[in-house]
Structure 1
Amino acid sequence: MKKSQLRSAARLAASQALYQMEVADKGLNDILAEFEAHWIGREIEGDAYNPAELGFFRDVVSGVVRDQVPIDRGLDETLAKGWPLRRVETLMRAILRAAYYELRSRSDVPARVAVTEYVDVAAAFFGPDECGMINAVLDALARQMRPAEFAVGR
Structure 2
Amino acid sequence: MKDRTNTPSTKNSDSSFHSTIEKKTATRLAAIQALYQIEFNGANVNLVLEEFRAYRINIGDNDVNGRMHASFSLLQELVIGTDRSLTEIDRYLSTFLDETWPLDRIATVMRCILRLATFELMARHQVPAKVIIKEYIKLAYEFFSGAEPGMVNGVLDKIAHELRNTELECSNEKESTSRK
Do they fold alike, i.e. is TM over 0.5?
yes
Residue 8 of structure 2 corresponds to: none
Give the share of equivalent positions with the same residue, in percent.
39
Question: Residue 51 of structure 2: which of 34, 37, 47 is its match?
Answer: 34
User: Matches of 2:67 and 2:141 in 1, distance apart?
Assistant: 16
User: Matches of 2:125 and 2:119 in 1, distance apart?
Assistant: 10
Query: Is residue 63 of structure 1 aligned with residue 108 of structure 2?
Result: no
Query: 1:25, CA displacement in angstroms?
Result: 1.2
Aligned with 2:43: secondary structure? coil
Aligned with 1:149: secondary structure? helix
> Alpha-carbon deviations, 1:36-56, whole Å to 9, x = none?
11111354xxxx442111111
Query: Is residue 153 of structure 1 aligned with residue 173 of structure 2?
Result: yes
Report runs of 4+ in structure 1 exceeding 6 Å deviation: none
Residue 36 of structure 2 corresponds to: 19
Answer whether contact 2:55 2:67 (CA < 8 A) is retained.
Answer: no
Aligned with 1:153: secondary structure? helix
Amino acid at match of 2:75: F
Query: 1:128, CA displacement in angstroms?
Result: 3.7
User: What is the TM-score when the length of structure 2 is the normalising length?
Assistant: 0.79
Answer whether contact 2:36 2:112 (CA < 8 A) is retained.
Answer: yes
Residue 120 of structure 1 corresponds to: 138
Query: 1:24, CA displacement in angstroms?
Result: 1.2
Describe how 1:1-154 pairs up with structure 2 within 5 A: 2-41=19-58, 42-43=64-65, 48-151=66-169, 152-154=172-174
User: What is the TM-score when the length of structure 1 is the normalising length?
Assistant: 0.92
Amino acid at match of 1:9: A
Structure 2: runs of 5 or more not aligned: 1-15, 59-63, 175-180
Q: Say how many residue pairs are matched.
A: 150
Amino acid at match of 2:25: S
Structure 1: runs of 5 or more not aligned: none
